[in-house]
């Protein structure tokens, strides 16, 4: 993974007033979306923004939470002072599917090469 993808900016746009997040890799995009950011994909750019209609306190809460989540998994986030936090939210690994005892492969999956076709 490229080190450049571990850097993001999360700031309030001076022209529109929207809270925007730029940069990152697919993991960062996933974290942003789970925090409430909406992906914006245009021809020459890809970024995330908070939904419209939120009050300023809610925007700051969501942006601060995004900074905490991204920092917890070692992303460098350049953000506005209002969004800075020392808080690091706990990260949990994804749940794995539990297989019944004695089963070593997913149901319906045949071992490759275990059956030979009679010619």
> What pLDDT was estimated at residue 81?
93
This prediction's pTM: 0.72
According to DSSP H, which parts of the chain are helical?
26-35, 56-72
Burial of 7 (0-12, 13-18, 19+ CB in 10 A): middle
Helix (H, G, I), strand (E, B) or coil at 7: strand
pLDDT in tens, 3-26: 667 899 999 999 999 999 999 999
Where do the domains of the chain lie? 3-83
Mean predicted lDDT score pLDDT of the chain? 83
Cα gap 23→14, rounded to integer Å? 18
Tell me which CATH code domain 3-83 carries: 3.30.70
> What pLDDT was estimated at residue 86?
86
Quick one: pLDDT band at residue 108, thresholds 50, 70, 90?
Answer: low
Tokens for 88, please give them. 């690091």
> What pLDDT was estimated at residue 15?
95
């Amino acid at each position: 993974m490229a080190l450049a993808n571990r850097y993001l900016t999360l700031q309030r746009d001076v022209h529109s007033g929207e809270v925007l997040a730029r940069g990152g890799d697919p993991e960062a995009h996933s974290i942003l979306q789970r925090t409430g950011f909406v992906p914006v994909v245009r021809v020459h750019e890809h970024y995330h923004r908070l939904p419209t209609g939120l009050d300023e306190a809610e925007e700051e809460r969501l942006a601060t939470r995004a900074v905490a989540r991204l920092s917890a998994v070692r992303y460098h986030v350049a953000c506005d002072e209002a969004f800075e936090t020392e808080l690091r939210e706990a990260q949990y690994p994804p749940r794995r599917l539990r297989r019944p005892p004695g089963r070593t492969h997913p149901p319906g999956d045949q071992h490759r090469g275990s059956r030979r076709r009679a010619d």
